Structure 1
Amino acid sequence: MKSTTQVYGMTLDFIWPYWEGSEVCLRQGKRKKRMLIKESDLYDPLKTYLEHQGYTIGAEIQDCDLIAIKADEMIIIELKTRVSVDLLIQAARRKDISDAVYIAVPLPVGKKDLPKSRGLKNLLRKLEVGLILVRFMKTKTRVDVVLHPRPYEKRMRPGKQASILREVDGRYGEFNKGGIPSTEERITAYKQEAIRIALLLREKGDSSPKDLRSCSARPDKIQAILAQNHYGWFDRVSRGLYRINPAGCEALDRYEDLQPDLMAIFREHVS
């Protein structure tokens, strides 16, 4: 079954999603499970694949790894053994020559996709660069075109922007350090408010959300934080009445050492 895709006004007959039959199998003989793949190993499968679609192929023309020509269409494909910054820069430069630019990289046996493929595809869409995977199997090689170089329409995410602004506004101060590993603790606005509530409960004893609202700068968050009890610091004594538990007291002692400036701000408002 033949599929035709319009890209930048050009008809690219060879651009088929692999589930629609865009597969060219080349008998390679028996291969070892682990093999060293060179950039030049990608050329023959792609050449056969494109020639099967009626394209004339050129190689190493003015620093372009592979050129495919049919009528007035020109497709440029850059070959590499892995995705790198250099490859992306190279592909972006080729956009000055043709709108239909692809990068082609190998995908070894047993791998379903490239590492961090979602982020990579998002970046390639913004660069308006296509992606071709060459899958080296035990006895054959398969070419899959998984992304087309279509014009990119930038879409803002107002919801995400509003969420960031709420987070900034919800913090009592900035007590994180930018660039820390993802395994290290972040003192978010939610956590700051939970610490403040825990401190209030330790000072005041059993209290209801209503009792705590007058002492909090974020009164609208108190009920949800107590009910969710995300950190396990609170116990519900009875309906609408909460107290801090030993885990909460231990957490406060820990933050006295780790975040003394934050705790000092909270103590000023505890009466």
Structure 2
Amino acid sequence: MSAAKPRETDLYPPVKALLESQGYAVKGEIGAADIVAVRADEDPLVVELKTGFSLSLFHQGIERQAITDVVYIAVPRGTGRAFQKAIAANTSLCRRLGLGLMTVRLKDGLVEVHADPAPYKPRKSNIKKARLLKEFAKRTGDPNSGGATRQGLMTAYRQDALRCARVLSELGPTKAALVAKASGVDRARTLMADNHYGWFERLATGIYGLCPKGSEALALLGDPDSGAKTEVGADAKN
């Protein structure tokens, strides 16, 4: 027999006990709030209860911030990897919203506080910012529609691979250094050696050719430089 589905009222006694142990006077269903806790000379503390994470739970928490800055949301504590991922994601969301987060282990009433209400101060990542601006600067044109799925997006890396493929398509097997010079792709040797898309093959030391898959990609995706023909000298092959 499966365990009975938890109810919001099942969360109330453990949360109330925790708050009372911290010196709060606690009452349920005051106005629109599920739990209100009061301690001398402090803002009231509000807790919203739900049997699981939902958008409406976060909406309710945000609405209670019109009453007090000290607002928690509380849900039953689950088990397994999926719940751990949910806790991590929703703890991060609560911090961004300035909400506190509690979970209640119903089998023994253990209440765990994962986040306390506090103003959100985002931490900026200079590395991620630099990576974003580098990709923006290196991308030729605007080949992707905003909101498209990540699969098959035209990145600066893919555009460089197409440039290398174009040179090999026109010249046949070519030294990597000359592919770099003809295509304008400084990382041509590494790109072809890594062969991320399966377009290239190494025919001899430092010499690469184009695979049928590369020819198909070139025909399908085209030249990232709007059809501009690569200018190379007669000594570019082999």
Output the TM-score relative to the length of structure 2.
0.83
3-state SS of the aligned residue for 1:81? coil
Corresponding residue for residue 236 of structure 2: none
**Which residue, 211, 219, 223 being the options, matches 1:263?**
223
Q: What CA RMSD, in Å, does the superposition of the two structures yield over aligned residues?
A: 2.5
Corresponding residue for residue 251 of structure 1: 217
Corresponding residue for residue 17 of structure 1: none
1:176–1:186 CA contact under 8 A, matched in 2: yes
Corresponding residue for residue 129 of structure 1: 99
Distance across 1 between alignment mates of 2:197 and 2:174:
18
1:107–1:114 CA contact under 8 A, matched in 2: no
1:59–1:67 CA contact under 8 A, matched in 2: yes
State the Cα distance separating 1:46 from its structure 2 match.
Answer: 1.2
Corresponding residue for residue 201 of structure 2: 235
Q: State the identity %.
A: 37
**Which residue, 136, 139, 159 being the options, matches 2:127?**
159
3-state SS of the aligned residue for 2:83? coil
Corresponding residue for residue 11 of structure 1: none
How far does the alpha carbon of each residue in 1:100-146 deviate from its partner, in whole angstroms, 9 at most, with x for none? 21111123355673554333222211222110012234xx3332111
Amino acid at match of 2:104: V
How far does the alpha carbon of each residue in 1:141-169 deviate from its partner, in whole angstroms, 9 at most, with x for none? 33211112233223222321221121122
3-state SS of the aligned residue for 2:73? strand
Amino acid at match of 2:145: K
Distance 1:171 1:110, change over 3 A: closer
Corresponding residue for residue 52 of structure 2: 82
- Report 1:168-247 matches (<5 A): 168-182=136-150, 184-217=151-184, 219-247=185-213
Corresponding residue for residue 31 of structure 2: 62
2:91–2:114 CA contact under 8 A, matched in 1: no
Distance 1:63 1:111, change over 3 A: farther
State the Cα distance separating 1:239 from its structure 2 match.
Answer: 2.5
How far does the alpha carbon of each residue in 1:169-213 deviate from its partner, in whole angstroms, 9 at most, with x for none? 22222222332345x321211112112211211211121232123
Moved more, 120-129 or 67-76: 67-76
Distance across 2 between alignment mates of 1:96 and 1:174:
43
**Which residue, 135, 147, 155 being the options, matches 2:115?**
147
2:140–2:224 CA contact under 8 A, matched in 1: no
Runs of 4+ in structure 1 over 4 Å off: 109-112
- Report 1:5-84 matches (<5 A): 33-73=2-42, 74-84=44-54
1:215–1:269 CA contact under 8 A, matched in 2: no
Distance 1:251 1:116, change over 3 A: farther
State the Cα distance separating 1:266 from its structure 2 match.
Answer: 5.4
Segments of structure 1 that go 5 or more residues without pairing to the other structure are: 1-31
State the Cα distance separating 1:75 from its structure 2 match.
Answer: 1.7
Output the TM-score relative to the length of structure 1.
0.74
3-state SS of the aligned residue for 2:174? coil
Distance across 2 between alignment mates of 1:111 and 1:212:
48
Aligned residues: 230
Distance 1:169 1:109, change over 3 A: closer
Amino acid at match of 2:17: T
Segments of structure 2 that go 5 or more residues without pairing to the other structure are: 232-238
